Structure 1
Amino acid sequence: MRLADHTTTTAAEALESVDVAVVPVGSTEQHGPALPLGTDFITADAFAEAVTDRDDVAVLPTIPVGVSEHHRQFHGTLWVSPETFEEYVTETIEAVASHGVRKAVFVNGHGGNVNALERAARRLRGDGTAFAPTWNWWESVPELSDDLFDSDGGHAGPAETSLLLELAASLVREDALEEAGDGVPESWGKSVHGASVGFDTIDFTPTGVVGDPTEGSRVAGEELFQAASEELNALVDWLVDKPFDSLRSTDHV
């Protein structure tokens, strides 16, 4: 169920059967000339939607702005500091934990959020508040992505383009896909003699894209979405089955 759809009185009853809070987090940032600024929170929200039919899950409102300053040179990008983002997500989980839901999943659509989310998860477990791992959709189906695409991509490349064609095709400028992939690298970042010198996205890609977005397709997006959604449901099942006290222990794995 989606928590925000309830009233305070109906939430009181619904939360009695909830074991896991799902928190979609993304970003509002450039995804080249073909994909919308909301790509990351659109995908996170869609994956969270895939578990809303479960009575043991409460899906919280999507957090649409994340750690994206490295895209700042591209118009429309919004960002907060890693510290602000970490505090915000930590306090959000603290709030839902106060209602008795102490297991959670961050359903993440943006790689730039990962470090802050992991720090938040350590703090929440360390003080006994909650157990809240981060689920990155792209890490749940790496073999499928390898099978579907020749280009590795990573940002507005074939995988994200495919997902958006499946989830929000009207927001994709398909006539700009070729332009988006013009002169871009196949992998993220820039290295010189073993040192990372690609501090901002503009340092290594002229369009803001990494990978060939023309490889994307709606058929591939449907496959990715279905497979990753199954992985998310499996993770939720795992969390439901684990007593909270066992998750607090460092030897729970």
Structure 2
Amino acid sequence: MPTLATCSTREAADAIERADVAVVPTGSTEQHGPALPLGMDHYAARAFAGAVAERDDVVSLPTIPVGVSPHHMQFDGSLTVSAETFAAYVRETVESLSEHGLRKVVFVNGHGGNVDALSRVARDLRATETAFAPTWNWWDAVDDLADDRFDEGGGHADAAESSLVWHLHEEHVDPDALTDAEAGGADSWGSSVHGATVGFDTIDFTESGAVGKPTQASPEAGADLFDAAASELAALVDWLAARPIADCWQRDHR
């Protein structure tokens, strides 16, 4: 099925009537070190949403390309909105979709900084019985595969992310810069002192902006990650499509 943005209003009416689930790709435009494009996260979200949007029972909304990224703003080109702005935008977008009768939604998310806001939105939408909208993060869907494939703690612009975007958009990746990304990067995300988190911004613990071992990346590994994650997303859509909307709302224990 084409994305909602490419439909005429007549085509949209037909698409929404046939659909069981909408997917909303959310990402960011932020630094991913010297080798990867700023659009890494929303490229990934758009690609995964597109993988399931080919189904007749799915409608894909336009990608939301800027997310909650204040911790990356010391790096050139990074864009951010507040968590409150992002949450309001996403919530109101889904509310408008619900007015047309489609109330099962998956947030296909490509950026970790969006997770808390999306979780709050999902809870609010469910509480008002506007929509049932779980968040799907591609990296969680392939955690075991990434652990088997790469020797890294990972975290940002790592081997997994580098591989995925290399597979999706080879033209936007500079493989020669992966060495610099790793040399100036960190082995794991964050920084702490005596149990307290002191790495508030990415630059506090990585000079290059990368966290992990991006030199282990390859487009072939990216293809495997994409296929595995897309299969998990399709299974989630199957589960949600089959679930009665009445079973999606909060239960009354009284």
Structure 2 counterpart of 1:169: 170
Q: CA deviation at 1:250?
A: 3.8
Q: CA deviation at 1:152?
A: 2.1
TM-score relative to the length of structure 1: 0.98
TM-score relative to the length of structure 2: 0.97
Q: Distance in 1 between matches of 2:171 and 2:69?
A: 24
**1:19 paired to 2:20:** yes
Structure 2 counterpart of 1:51: 52
Structure 1 counterpart of 2:238: 237
Note the 1:57-136 alignment, pairs <5 A.
57-136=58-137
Note the 1:99-248 alignment, pairs <5 A.
99-248=100-249
SS in 1 for 2:183: coil
Q: CA deviation at 1:21?
A: 0.7
SS in 2 for 1:75: coil
Gap runs ≥5 in structure 2: none
SS in 1 for 2:52: coil
Q: RMSD of the alignment, in Å? A: 0.9
SS in 2 for 1:50: helix
Identity of aligned residues (%): 61
After superposition, what is the alpha-carbon deviation per residue over 1:228-249, rounded to whole angstroms, capped at 9, x for unaligned? Answer: 0000000000000100110103
Q: Which one-letter code corresponds to 1:53 in the other structure?
A: E
Q: Which one-letter code corresponds to 2:107 in the other structure?
A: F
- Judge conservation of contact 2:127–2:250 (CA < 8 Å) in 1: no
Q: Which one-letter code corresponds to 1:66 in the other structure?
A: G
Gap runs ≥5 in structure 1: none
Flag the 1:215–1:250 CA change in 2: closer, same or farther, 3 A: farther
SS in 1 for 2:53: coil
Q: CA deviation at 1:98?
A: 0.6
